[in-house]
Amino acid sequence: MIDYVYKAKDRSTGQIVSANVKADSPQAAAKLLNDQNLFAFEITPKGENKYLEKLGLAGRIKAKDKVIFSRQLSTLISAGLPLAKALRTVEEQISSQKLKDVIGSVIASVEGGSSLSAAFAQHPKVFNEIYVALVAAGETSGTLDKALERIATQQEKDAAIMSKIRGAFVYPIIVLVLIFGVMVLMLTTVVPEVAKLYKDLGKELPLITQILVWISEFFKNFWWIIIIAIIPGVIALRNLLSHESMKYRIDKLKLTAPLFGVLFRKVYMARFARTMNTLLATGIPMLQAMDTVKRAVGNRLVAEDIDRAITKVKGGKSLSEGLEGSEYFLKLVPQMSKIGEESGAIDDMLGRTATYYENEVDEAVKNLSTTLEPILMVVLGVIVISVIAAVLGPVYTLVGSGDLNSIK
């Protein structure tokens, strides 16, 4: 049996209770609680590793798994299966245990009388605001299957963009690892030999070589400190990056950094346009769609621009007028929005805008890789040559002075 943590509403008193229950599955746990006159709206497995959770390594659900889930559920609902049965069928096909547990909790909530969107809303780390809003709109309009299909498409597009972004950073990371490897090799093998040579001759090392020797000795004698410090260091870094002020600075850097700034702007334009297209096509009102995108766009400065546009739209302006003059929105977005407003097909025009920027991101990633390659090779060369000069320069000095002849 598995130990589950649950939150439930006591049907007799209306109070919210939270405790543990042992059961074979989330559905079994929900049945046990139902027999106790409790309506469970959240059931999750107990005891995830807190350190792994802080490192971001625990309980991750791949975007691919969520896409498959959404698409399969859409197909089954379209085929006429009752919601609970469709959810159970999809749950059996899921390979991710974490997602399986979440879906089990969703099934328990649905069987307890909750709507699907409300059940999804209990798991915000898995189903974000956009997901819940689209499902709610699908429930209201009676087009839940189409809403889930749109969600799957949205997730695929977003995952493709992020995959391209990660790909752009692969080469720089490889070069940095190579630089670090060369440094460690020189510090642990060559530098100690040069230091020993100077010591035997009673000569004083140049300052830069002395610094390298000190670093080499630290690595040799205190390597265990570095290993022990890695995990708390990563946790401390994550805590630092989790501060709101730091997140704001990072978001601004993404939009203004040389080389990367243009790329990230196009990413956010594609995300804004694609998400707005999906929300509006599902029947969600303009202001509600903008408010949802504002919280899901992934950049605080872009979100501020959207917030200012919302204020203008509330005052009677159109979307295109609301976005005009925005500091971080590229001009094509309000231009295409205006064409969509005039033609009565704004969702379609936003979809075209998203496709344009998705293609632009692909091209920008290729250009970025082409630009970074020679720059990084020059940096690598400068660092390696500097280290070699610091290590071998003193040896050449000894050879030139004839001091090496005194060594027997």
- Which strands make up the sheet holding 38-45, listed edge to edge? 16-23, 2-10, 38-45
pLDDT of residue 165: 79
Cα–Cα distance between 311 and 331 in angstroms, integer? Answer: 19
Strands 2-10 and 38-45: antiparallel
| Each residue's pLDDT expressed in tens, for the chain with a length of 408 residues | 677 777 777 777 777 777 787 777 776 777 787 777 777 767 777 655 444 444 444 457 888 899 999 999 999 999 999 999 999 999 888 888 888 888 988 998 888 888 999 999 988 888 988 889 889 888 888 889 998 998 898 888 888 888 877 877 787 788 788 878 877 787 777 777 777 777 777 767 777 777 877 887 887 777 778 778 888 888 888 888 778 888 899 999 999 988 788 889 999 999 999 989 988 988 889 999 999 899 888 899 999 999 999 999 999 999 999 999 899 999 999 999 999 999 999 999 999 999 999 999 888 888 877 787 788 788 878 877 877 777 777 666 666 665 555 554
* Cα distance between residue 389 and residue 380, in whole Å: 14
Q: Do the strands 16-23 and 38-45 form a parallel or antiparallel pair, or are they unpaired?
A: unpaired
Structure tokens given for 298: 């992934």
**What is the C-alpha to C-alpha distance for residues 67 and 63, in angstroms, rounded to an integer?**
6
Query: What was the pLDDT predicted at 55?
Result: 45
Could you tell me the two tokens for 136? 């709610």
Say if residue 215 is exposed, middle or buried (CB neighbours under 10 Å; 0-12, 13-18, 19+): middle
CB 148 within 8 A of CB 74: yes
Alpha helix locations (H) across 186-259? 191-201, 207-241, 244-256
Predicted local confidence at residue 398, as pLDDT: 63
- Around Cβ 220, how many Cβ atoms within 10 Å? 12
Dist. CA 91–CA 231, nearest whole Å: 35
How far apart CA 134 and CA 278 sit, in angstroms, is 8
pLDDT of residue 51: 45
- Under 8 Å between Cβ of 341 and 325: no
Would you state the pLDDT for residue 273?
93
Q: Per-domain residue ranges for the chain? A: 2-127, 157-408
In whole angstroms, what is the distance from residue 239 CA to residue 236 CA?
5
The count of other CB atoms within 10 Å of the CB of residue 218 is: 13
CATH class as words, domain 157-408? mainly alpha
Q: Residues 123, 102: contact at Cβ < 8 Å?
A: yes
Question: Residue 323's pLDDT is what?
Answer: 94
Tokens of 359: 């293609």
Record the pTM: 0.69
